[in-house]
Chain A
Amino acid sequence: MTLQRAERRLGWGLAAPALLWTLAFFVLPFLAMVVLSFAHMEGRQVVQGLDPGNYIRAFTDWSQLNALINSVEITLTVTVISVVLAWPLAAIIAWRVPPRFQRLALLLAVLPFWTSYVVRSYSWLLVLGKNGVINQALMGLGVIAEPLALASTRSATVIGFVHFFVMLLTLTIYANLIQLSPNYARAAQDLGAGRWATFRHVILPLTLPGVVTGAFLTFVLCIGDYITPQILGGNNELTLPQLIMLQMGRSGNFPMASALSVVLMAVVTLAYAGCSRWLRLDRI
């Protein structure tokens, strides 16, 4: 009994720094943000209170609500495209690349992580621009007569995001795939399953933890990102992080920014709730 108590104390002692850190730098700031979200502005002054006006405005003012809708649409698009591209890439690395070259393949896959996020976004701007590589190539081949409007669009934002998140998803799916014994597929085929049926009913369900974990991380990082839509989207449609930045940096309206941030966290929480059943961090 004494030993158990000592072990328990040791456990709490080891966990205490992390718990205190989380309390000080996440829980308390988050609570402060929630409190601030119910305040309102009078001139430049923040007036504390229990005013739900910021939340009402977030869901009734079209320019505010539209930012939320834009964010969710872009994030879902990016997540789906990234999963579709990352799964086969991870499968090729795990199953087709000889084991001695897999580390090199993974290294190449994550190379984009090594460059600055901002520089990478500006690079895409140059690639997608009117005088960029894509338009010049298409015009040189005679496919188009006038340059396409690729930069400063939602598509440009999605491309910039997908470039980044395919790498992240490849890692999580690869980590899942290499743990799968080839005996699963063999057993399925021995029982008469075709390649498609084996993939659909055996392989894919077994890789869902890696897919969902990567997809969730993609969702969280994408919906909270400010840089990519700011640089590649050309401010042609606001996302929620951009709107939060406008409220803080330009309007100095910290209560409204706090309310929008709480809404953003609520969306992430909903996403977590939706995929928590498959989230298996121990599988990656």
Chain B
Amino acid sequence: MTHRALTALGLLALATPAFAQDELNALVWCDHTDPALIAPFEAKYGVKVNLKEYEGTAAGLAILDQSQPGDWDVLVIDAVDVPRAVAAGKLAEIPADQLPTADFFPELVMAANNVVDGKTYAVTEKFGYNTISYDKTKVDPADMEDMAALTSGKYDGKTGIYDYYLPLLGLVALGQGINTADITAENLGQLQDPLMALRKASTLVADVVSSQTALATGEVDIIVGGGEWLTAVLAAENPNLDWTIPKQGGLRWAQSIGVVAGTAKPDLALAFVQYIVSPEGQAALAQSSCYWGMPANTKAGDILSPEAKAVLRWDQQPEFLARAQLYPIPDAATDTAMQDLWTAMLNK
């Protein structure tokens, strides 16, 4: 076989997911790539789980659009986008009676999102908050209870913004007294000035890793849009990092997991989903090396250490859940308008 043919075969192998019977192909977020989460499932079922990270629902759906049925078996997706994936025919129905949702925090069952026309297509696996993360030795924690402090001038140049338009515009909307569910293309204009004011006070707009780096190195003292997902993984090294939900409220993020429509391994895919929402899978997912987050299954609390539960603010969840709103779920026109506003903000 020629060198060129070998190279072509190598490239082909890199470009396509594996199809062997003992492999499972999952489109996931980075928290699922932690070996501590995946290895127990692989050992139990004697399979190899191939993981591909993606960022943003649009990118995930685009990957599925470009794939053949059967290429992918499992999909992790923003919980609020499950109906969108179902409408696009990307998720298969899964048996609700084989999922431990009775053990979930009631707010995290999220039937309005995971169930479409009476059929369950996904199950919530992890959640947390987009609020305000800060270094409590550098800022006055009392100030962090009011979003207005961020643009008061006191913290100019010490603030960073998490680079994701949905939660940030949601937070800005809460600051203006607009519920996230009420954001439309028409009232988006009301968010422009407060968003630009926040931008003016900020030093950077950063993705997950850059936000963690900026807070950890002291480049900024506050990350707007942060939360336990940002500070928990850094807590052991820097216990001064903290987060809170200001009086205006915060946003609750939630991710769901489902079986991809057309999978050739529906049983194995369902077993993976069941493992992820089991207490053991939930505890490992909650403490993933990429980012931490609250498990949807309360039974994970029996496995998590007291220290981990303290970092996750386990005992304060009832209060936090009551004060947090879900991500905005914009229609196509509103989504485009929100992204245009965000792009304009980036190019201030």
**Interface set of A (CB-CB < 8 Å, partner B):** 17, 43-44, 62-64, 66-67, 70, 122, 125-126, 129-132, 149, 151-152, 230-231, 234-238, 243, 246, 248-252, 254
Contact = CB atoms under 8 A, between A and B. Distances in A.
Contacts of B62: 252, 254
A234 B204 contact: yes
A149 B157 contact: yes
Contact of B347 (A66, A129, A149, A231): A66
Contacts of A243: 343
A251 B332 CA distance: 10
Interface in B6-65: 55-56, 58-59, 61-62
20 contacts: A62-B347, A63-B344, A67-B347, A122-B213, A126-B217, A149-B203, A151-B204, A152-B219, A234-B210, A235-B163, A235-B206, A235-B346, A236-B203, A236-B205, A243-B343, A249-B55, A250-B339, A251-B339, A252-B62, A254-B62
A235 B339 contact: no
Interface in B151-206: 157, 160, 163, 165, 203-206
Contact of B332 (A43, A152, A230, A235): A43
Nearest to B345: A63
B69 interface: no
Contact of B217 (A129, A149, A234, A249): A129
Contacts of B347: 62-63, 66-67, 70, 237-238
A235 B210 CA distance: 10
B336 A129 contact: no
Nearest to B218: A131
A234 B339 contact: no
A151 B214 CA distance: 10
Contacts of B203: 149, 152, 234, 236
B88 interface: yes
A194 B67 CA distance: 68
Given A63-B347, A234-B205, A235-B206, A249 B59 contact: yes
A249 B56 contact: yes
Given A234-B205, A236-B205, A252-B59, A246 B343 contact: yes
Interface in B296-348: 332, 336, 339-340, 343-344, 346-348
B58 A252 contact: yes
Nearest to B210: A231
B225 to A, nearest CB: 13
B345 to A, nearest CB: 9
The 5 closest A-B pairs by CB, nearest first: A234-B204, A252-B58, A235-B205, A152-B204, A43-B332
B163 A251 contact: no
B276 to A, nearest CB: 25
Contact of B61 (A44, A63, A122, A235): A44
B218 A130 contact: yes
A264 B122 CA distance: 41
Given A67-B347, A129-B219, A237-B347, A250 B56 contact: yes
Contacts of B4: 17
Nearest to A122: B213
Interface in B210-233: 210, 213-214, 217-219
Given A129-B219, A231-B210, 14 more contacts: A17-B4, A44-B332, A63-B346, A63-B347, A64-B343, A66-B347, A125-B213, A130-B219, A236-B348, A248-B59, A249-B59, A250-B56, A250-B58, A250-B165
